[in-house]
Amino acid sequence: MGNAVGAKARREEEIAFLAMEQVLGVNISLADAGAGDKMPDGSWTYPDSRGRKGIVEVTSPPAKRLLAEWARAKREGRPQTESGSIPTRLNQLAQVCAETLATQWACQNFEKLLAQSADERHLFLFARQYRDGSYFYRLSDSYEGGTGEDVDDLVLPHGISDVWFRGRASRDVSDPLGVTQLRLARFQATSGWHRYTVRIEERQLPVPNPSIADDRVPAGWRLPKDRTHTVED
C-alpha cells in the first residue's frame, strides 16, 4: 500500500505495532497515511509465507467525555483522574468482550477491515477508561500464584482472524523513560486465547497527545520507527 511521505503513527498505534511485531515476527507499515478513515492502520507481509498479508485496525472503545475532561484538567493544572466502579462479572469476561464487539462502534471497525483484501484481519483494542481497562487487564493476567478465571472462546465475524486486548503496563519506577512491560491478550479465531508479555522502550514511541500530557524529554530524543513505506520482510 502506498503511504504519504512524512506520515507518522500515533502513540497508541505505535505501541500496538511494536507489540504485534514482537509476537508475530513481522514488520508493520503504516497503511492509512493519506487515506483518512478508509484504510486500516497497519499492514504487513509474513516472511517466507508466499506473500501472506495481514492488516490491523488500532482503536479503543469511545471515551470522548473522558478525554475532554482530561484535556480540561491539563489546561487548568489539575491532576487527571477517573472515578467510579464497575461490576466485577467474574467468569464472564467472554460475555463482556462479546458485548463490546457487538456494538455499532466495533462493527464499523470490522467493516473497515473486511473491506480490504487480506489473509488475516486483526483488531487491536486498548482502553482509555477504567471500565474497559479493568476487563482487559483481567484478560491478559497470568494469574501467577492465584486462581484464574474461566474465559470462553469468542465468535468473531467471518473473515476477522484476531482480536487483541492491551492489558496492564508496568515500568521501572527508577527509570520512567526506560522499558515498559506490556501484557496482551489475543483471541485467535483458529486457536483460541493466547497471552503475551512484551517489552517496549519509551524512546521508540512518539510523543504523548499534547492536549493530555506534556512530553518530558528533549526534542530529538525519541526515535520511533519509520513506517511510511512498505517494508520487505
Domain count along the chain: 1
**Which helix or strand (DSSP H or E) is residue 223 part of?**
none
- Asked if residue 220 is part of any domain, the answer here is no
214 in a structural domain: no
pLDDT at 210 over 90: no
CA dist., res. 9 & res. 16, Å (int): 10
pLDDT for residue 83: 67
- Residues 85 and 134: their CA atoms lie apart, in Å, by 10
Whether residue 34 lies inside any domain: the answer is: yes
Q: Which three cell numbers stand for residue 131?
A: 471500565
Over residues 146-160, the pLDDT tens digits come to 677 889 999 999 999
CA distance linking residue 177 with residue 119, whole number of Å: 37
Write the pLDDT tens digit of every residue in 41-64: 999 999 886 789 999 999 988 756
| 217 domain residue, yes or no | no
| Res. 129 pLDDT band, cuts 50 70 90 | confident
Does some domain include residue 56? yes
Q: Is residue 228 a part of any domain in this protein?
A: no
Q: Report yes or no on 4 lying in a domain.
A: no
- Judge whether residue 5 has pLDDT over 80: no
Does the pLDDT value for residue 94 go beyond 60?
Answer: yes
Place of cell 497470568: 142
Is 72 inside a domain boundary?
yes
- For residue 155, the enclosing domain spans 11-204
Q: What is the pTM of this model?
A: 0.85
CA-wise closest residue to 63 among 214, 182, 212, 200: 212
